[in-house]
Amino acid sequence: MNEKLVPIDLRRLKILEWEEEFRNSSLPEHPSAERLLDILCSRGTCSDLSAFKERYSAVSAMDQDLGVLIREPGISANLVEPLRESKMNFLLGNFVSSIALCGVVAEMLAILIYNMNIHDKNKRNQFDSWSQHKRIRELKEEGFIEDRIAIDLNEIREIRKSSLHRWNRAKEDTTDQALQAYAAAARLVRKVAIQEFKDGKCLLNSDLIKYLEDENRLTAK
């Protein structure tokens, strides 16, 4: 038998500081904040605080208009939290995860827009089962979305397809794509949730408010 040496990752999926605790219930020293950040950041991503802040500055520039969002369980679970998790993954250099979560936001937004316009439950269920490409086409043909929304939905879909279904991908490309996907997702959430800013006030989308009230999911005062 020919023996060969190959490089390996040893305990790549472990937090070594805690492994001893799990084995024998001892109490090891907790990893420092710097060490924990190094563990959480994707391989090849600089984990020092200055680099972390640089990534925060870059991604936060894309969501400046999202300071105010409706607090409703469905909106939070399907839009706000996935978008926030996408941002947190970007900060950690987990760019593929960030893109995947932008895909979740885009799909949930497509479903929300359809539900805001169609009340028939059978049609809603059918729409849910479609591919995102077919959903976007249906929304456009029915006149439920404008060109800008369709462009952003398709951009996220294409980025997701390129990043999640390709074995070879450059980290630099994935970084840029994650930022583009997040920017598009943030624009979509703003467009659907916020109508406009006027005289220092944030005016929420009246169609969304009406939909949530009709569904007994929100009581506006």
pLDDT digit string (tens) for the chain, length 221 residues: 577 665 656 666 676 666 665 566 555 567 788 888 888 899 889 999 899 999 999 999 999 888 778 888 899 999 999 999 999 999 999 999 999 999 999 999 999 999 999 999 999 999 999 999 999 999 999 999 999 999 999 999 999 998 887 777 666 679 999 999 999 999 999 988 876 667 777 677 888 888 888 888 876 66
Which structural domain range is residue 166 located in?
49-214
Return the number of other C-beta atoms located less than 10 Å from residue 218's C-beta. 18
Residue ranges in 61-131 assigned as alpha helix (H): 73-75, 81-91, 95-117, 121-129
Radius of gyration for the alpha carbons in the chain, expressed in angstroms and rounded: 21
Tokens at residue 132, please? 């995102």
- Strands of the chain (E only): list them: 194-198, 201-204
Give the whole-angstrom CA distance, residue 101 versus residue 36.
Answer: 23
Q: Which of 28, 36, 64, 66 is nearest to 52 (CA)?
A: 36
Q: Which of 187, 167, 160, 171 is nearest to 104 (CA)?
A: 160
Asked, for residue 27, whether it belongs to a domain, the answer is: no
Asked, for residue 11, whether it belongs to a domain, the answer is: no
State the total domains in the chain. 1
Give the whole-angstrom CA distance, residue 79 versus residue 88.
Answer: 14
User: Cα dist. 101→67, 98, 107, 131, 159 in Å?
Assistant: 20, 5, 10, 16, 12
Asked, for residue 13, whether it belongs to a domain, the answer is: no
Q: Which of 107, 115, 98 is nearest to 79 (CA)?
A: 107
Q: Which of 112, 52, 58, 54 is nearest to 80 (CA)?
A: 112
Asked, for residue 1, whether it belongs to a domain, the answer is: no
Q: What pTM was estimated for this model as a whole?
A: 0.85
Give the whole-angstrom CA distance, residue 61 versus residue 76.
Answer: 21
Asked, for residue 80, whether it belongs to a domain, the answer is: yes
Asked, for residue 176, whether it belongs to a domain, the answer is: yes
Asked, for residue 3, whether it belongs to a domain, the answer is: no
Asked, for residue 5, whether it belongs to a domain, the answer is: no
